[in-house]
Amino acid sequence: MPRLDAPCPTKAFHSLRGTRLIGLCLIASLAWLPLGAAATSEPELHVLIDVSGSMKKTDPENLRAPALRLLSDLLPEQSHVRVDLFGNRITPVLPASRATPETKADMRKAAGKIRSNEPFTDIPAALEAVDESWSENTQRNIILLSDGKVDISPHEGFNERATSRLQEEVIPALAADNIQVHTVALSDDADQEMLAQIADRTGGLALSARSNADLQRVFLSLFEATAPRTGVPLVENRFRVDDSISELTLVVFRDENDEPTRIRLPGGSEIDARQAAILKDWRWDDSAGRDLITISNPPAGSWRILAAEDPDNRALVITDLNLAMPNLPSRVYPGETLESGLQLTNHGEPIVEPRLTDDIDAELSVIGPDDQAQQTMKLNDIGAEPDVLGGDGRYDFHLVLTETAGIYTLVGRADGPTFERIIRKKVALARSRPFGVSFAIPPSAGESGPQAAPVLLVEQDVTILEPGSSRLDTAIQCAGGDYAELDADLPLANNRIELPETAPDDCRLVGTIAGETLDGRQMRLPVELEVPRPSPPEPVPSTTESSDPPTDSSPAEEQSGNPLLAVLIGLGGLGILGAIAFGWMAHNRRLRRKLISQTRA
């Protein structure tokens, strides 16, 4: 059983200096210092698309194809991609490749091969098949799109065994390889609990498309979670293109009854899908309730999208002047501190010259699951809070999400005299922490024994955390200034840590609990809760003779609780007393007559 590394054996805590606790906090802060841009690895996406026969009903218009085309045009060239179709077998349609213009063209062609013609849905085999051919030093992601359950046979026993293998072998192996699996449920009949479990245990997103039109927005969210790309701000569907932009990609969502989308160029001319079809530098895909427009060498100036405004409309660019938000996970936990920053680069090199950075305004906005802005913070690169190191080209920030569980959007923006840049990152806030910390008070040892000290109980979810990697670094701080260190390794799913036998009133447990997720991410969460005081033992009744209950009871006493019986007993007693008195009086009269007779004689 884990115990205090440095217990306080006396009745009150020793008054100690806080040097070690401060040191722990400093170490924790240094552990979270963000890495430089050079440490950021490139994203890699392996896309798995369900082509089982049930998709004829779930996706009758085959909107999986335009969703894949959307993803192909959004991916940055610094990413890697692979595409496979699966049902009862795996069909590779695009090998793992860097997302060059040629690869993107092949990806659009691969979308044309999506069908709904296979009898079963072998999810475990599909995940195992794409867990290979990864590039070196990439951020590994699998996108799993399915409408069904684990279905490999008409015999339910085979399906149950395959599901067990998925949970006990396949998912742990993916997590051990640091692969995040993002799942998309395409039907209410899908096993959403299983798909969510796959995502949760690998640190991915679990999304669902309630309608066919939703699928396009879901793929936009997946892109912004796995391979976000630099864009320019859209304000009332207006945006500005500068001379450094070599390619512009617009995503415009529209309803069925909306007028066709048009684009107004800086010179005032307007282009629609029909006109774009004959222009060399334009490509326009207007399927599936959205417009996907790519323009090479766009002219600099003010542009406008002539369509209804939508929060998911985007203007993304290929440019030498890029904005990144590195080292952010896709899934975080309540109370976890996110440490990152905006990194502005020119030709891949951080912009650090004061003559340039002095005129840059940077900020971070947080959009909640309800699409409402929750907060906006100004950022700097001069070493003032929250920046860590001034002049390094990074606009650092730290952020804690504690509100409603769901998908948040972090929006970074940097504006200079001649340019505007924006980048979005989707982050899922889990419903609960993978740690649970609470106190329990054992019963006292006997009626007159000492009060039992509270026991700290720490539970951890071993389906998310690497067993044996967790540690508690805390201290008990009291109102009077006393404190005691409470550190312990947490090797088990359920850990019990004993506290000192006695402690002052008004104490709190404060510090952190750290661990490593199965996908290799270091995590540190705050701990703060009140230390309970054991209840005093109940007083023992006095043992003096006067207070001892009688050991023997008469029948009358035993029946004294019956009022009628008590009355009868009372009357009987009076009768007996009357008879005794009558006999005594009669005896006295006889004795008196005898004495009188003797006297007369």
Residue type, 594: K
**Full set of structural domains in the chain with CATH:** 19-30+433-530 (2.60.40), 41-212 (3.40.50.410), 238-320 (2.60.40), 334-429 (2.60.40)
**How does pLDDT run across 74-83, given as a tens digit for each residue?**
999 999 999 9
Q: Is the pLDDT of residue 17 over 50?
A: no
pTM score, whole prediction: 0.79
Place of tokens 């005896």: 587
Longest dimension (CA), the chain: 168
CA distance readout (Å), 193 to 23, 83, 150, 164, 347: 43, 25, 12, 14, 44
Cα–Cα distance measured from residue 417 to residue 438, given in angstroms and rounded to the nearest whole number: 53
**How does pLDDT run across 100-158, given as a tens digit for each residue?**
999 999 999 999 999 999 999 999 999 999 998 899 999 999 999 998 889 999 899 99
**How does pLDDT run across 522-545, given as a tens digit for each residue?**
899 999 999 887 666 555 555 554
**How does pLDDT run across 401-427, given as a tens digit for each residue?**
987 899 999 999 999 999 999 999 999
**How does pLDDT run across 226-260, given as a tens digit for each residue?**
999 999 999 999 999 999 999 999 999 999 889 99
**How does pLDDT run across 85-100, given as a tens digit for each residue?**
999 999 999 999 999 9
Structure tokens at 352: 């650090």
Q: Which residues contact 388 (CB under 8 A, 6 or more apart)?
A: 33, 34, 341, 394, 396
Q: Which residues pair with 408 in a beta bridge?
A: 427
**How does pLDDT run across 171-214, given as a tens digit for each residue?**
999 998 899 999 999 887 788 899 999 999 999 999 998 776 78
Query: Measuring CA to CA, which residue among 5, 21, 3, 84 is closest to residue 483?
Result: 21
The reported pLDDT for the residue numbered 334 is 92
Mean pLDDT of 290-295: 97
Cα–Cα distance measured from residue 57 to residue 59, given in angstroms and rounded to the nearest whole number: 6
Please return the burial class of 368, using the count of CB atoms within 10 Å of its CB with bins 0-12, 13-18 and 19+.
middle
